[in-house]
Structure 1
Amino acid sequence: MYYHFKKHYWILGIGMLWIISCQLEGFSNGAPSQKKLQGDAMGHNKYTYDSLHAIYLLDSLDSLFLPSFTLEELTGQIDFAEDTNFRAIARDYCYGSRTLYLRQEACDSLEAMFKAAKKDGIKLLVRSASRDYQQQCYFWNRDWKKTNKRGVEKCLDVMKIVAMPGISRHHWGTEVDIDGLGNRYHKATIEDNKRYAWLKENALRFGYYQCYNDDTSRTGYQEETWHWSFYPTGQKMTQDMMYLMTYGDIPEFLGCEHAEEIDVIQHYILGIGSVPSDTTGQAFQDSTVNE
C-alpha cells in the first residue's frame, strides 16, 4: 500500500534530471515546433524518441513530491531543546513545572489562542506537547507491562491509551494535550465543558483542531477531547509520513513486530478527522498578527 520506493524520491529526482540533461541538447531555445517534429520531406528529424521522452520527464517533474520533513523529525529522533525549529511554550501556559516544546509556528499560534481564551474568561493550560522517541517508549513500556494480553491484542490494548513509539503525532511538534477537558481518568466537569466549547468555536481561527474527534468513519484512536493539532504543519507532516514511512523504518520497541499486521500507518497515522470548515468565515493565516 505504501510504495517503498517513495522513500528514495531524491534518487528518482536526480535520475530524471540526469536523463534530461543528457537528452535535451538542442532544446535550449524552447520546445520544437510541430514542423520540426514532423521532419523534412526526406524524413530527417534530429529529435529522437529519447529526446522527446525527456520533454515528458521534464514536465513530470512538476508533480514530483518533495517532502518537507525528515524521518528523524517524523519519528521523534531529534532534540527539541536544540532544534531551532522549536521553542518552549511560555511557562504561564503550561501545567506543572516541565518545559514543553512546539514548533515555532505552532507555538506562536497556541499562545495567541490561549491569550484570546483568557480574555474570554477561559483558562487553558498545556499538559503535554512534543515528545521524543525515548519519552514515547517510556509511556509505551509502562502500559505494555500492565496488560496480560498477548500479541496483536496486547498492542491494540495499549494503543487505547498511548501511541506506538515512532508513529505518535506528539513527535512532530504540532500536537498538544490541553488540561481540564476531561480524560480517560475523570469525567468532564462544567468548567471542562466550557473550555471545550470555547475551543470548538474558536480553535480553528488559530490553526488548531481536534484531530481525534467523534467521527465514526475514521479509524484508529478513540476520541480525545484534550488532543489538539496545529493543522497547517500537521497536514504536511501527515502527507510526508505517508510517502516516507515504511514498516522497516519504525524503530524497535516492545511489540513493534505487530505494527505491520495492525497496519498502523493506514489505520492510526491516517486515522484522523478532517479539518472542519471555518464557520467563522475567517481562514487561518497568522494568529500572531490577528490577535
Structure 2
Amino acid sequence: MHTAFAQFTKEELTGKFNPESHKDFQRINVEYASHGNHFLRREVAEAFYRMAEAARKDGVKLIIVSSTRNYYRQKTIWENKYSNLSGTPFDRATRILQYSSMPGTSRHHWGTDFDLNSVDPEYFNTPTGQRVYTWLQNNAWKYGFFQPYSAVNQTRDSGYMEEKWHWSYKPLADLFLWAYRMMVSYEDITGFQGAEVAPIIKVIDSHVLSILPDFR
C-alpha cells in the first residue's frame, strides 16, 4: 500500500469512528460555526480559520453549518429521507442521492469537508449569498479549498447536484479520495435501508469519484 494511504483506516474512510474522541480532530470555535459541536481535522480547521479571517476583513462572514458527519449520523439522515419516500429502493436511493450521500460514502466522513452558511440553494441567489460565493470562488483556493460538486454538465456528468455550500480541503481530501479508491469496496457499503442498491447504482463511481476531473 502507498505510504500516503497507510495513515488512514477503512473506519476513517467510511466514517465509522467518533470525531469527538479522535486525536486528529478538533472542535470548531463557535465564532465560526452554527453551534459548538462541529469538528474538523486540525490541519483543515486551521486553514479554515485563516480563510474565514481573510473573508471577514473583506466584509464576508463564513459560518460552518455542517462539518464532520460520521457513518451513524449519515445513516440517521439517510434513513429519515428514505422512510419518507415511496417507490422501489432504487428509486428512493436515486432521489436522495441528488444531494445526500449513502452512509459510508460521504466526504463529510473524512473531516476535510464542510458546508458554509446555508444548504438551501436559494440562499446563494440572494445578494448576501452571491457575495459569499463570489468571494469563495476568487479566494478559497489560496487556503487550499475547492468546491467538489460544481454544476453537473459535460465535464462532471454524474453525481450530486451542484452544492455551492460544500467546500473541501484539497491537500488532505485528495489523499482520502485515493485511499478510498484503493481500500473501500461495495462490500463495505452496508448496514442501512437501501444499501442493496449501492452496487447497482455504482455509487462509488457515480458519486464518490464524481468530482471535477482535475481533482480526482
Q: Distance in 1 between matches of 2:40 and 2:190?
A: 22
Larger RCO (CA under 8 A, 6+ residues apart):
2
Structure 1 vs Structure 2 CA RMSD: 1.8
Q: Distance in 2 between matches of 1:113 and 1:64?
A: 30
Give the gaps of 5 or more residues in structure 1.
1-8, 10-62, 277-291
8 Å CA contact 1:211–1:274 kept in 2: the answer is: no
Q: Distance in 2 between matches of 1:274 and 1:89?
A: 31
State the SS of the aligned residue for 2:21. Answer: coil
| Alignment-derived partner of residue 13 in structure 1 | none
- Normalising by structure 2, what TM-score? 0.93
8 Å CA contact 2:190–2:196 kept in 1: the answer is: no
The 1:64/1:173 distance shift into structure 2, 3 A limit, reads closer
- Normalising by structure 1, what TM-score? 0.69
User: Does residue 252 of structure 1 match 2:191?
Assistant: yes
| Alignment-derived partner of residue 133 in structure 1 | 71
Deviations 1:230-276 (A, max 9, x none): 01000000000000011111231000010000001111110012458
Q: Distance in 1 between matches of 2:37 and 2:120?
A: 22
Give the gaps of 5 or more residues in structure 2.
none
| Alignment-derived partner of residue 209 in structure 1 | 146
8 Å CA contact 2:4–2:175 kept in 1: the answer is: no
Q: Distance in 2 between matches of 1:156 and 1:239?
A: 25
State the SS of the aligned residue for 1:102. Answer: strand
- Among residues 197, 206, 210, which one is paired with 1:267 in the alignment? 206
User: Does residue 109 of structure 1 match 2:47?
Assistant: yes
Q: Could you list the structure 1 runs, at least 4 aligned residues long, displaced by more than 6 angstroms after superposition.
A: none
Q: Distance in 2 between matches of 1:105 and 1:267?
A: 28
The 1:195/1:274 distance shift into structure 2, 3 A limit, reads farther
Q: Distance in 2 between matches of 1:254 and 1:274?
A: 31
Aligned length: 213
Q: Distance in 2 between matches of 1:151 and 1:264?
A: 14
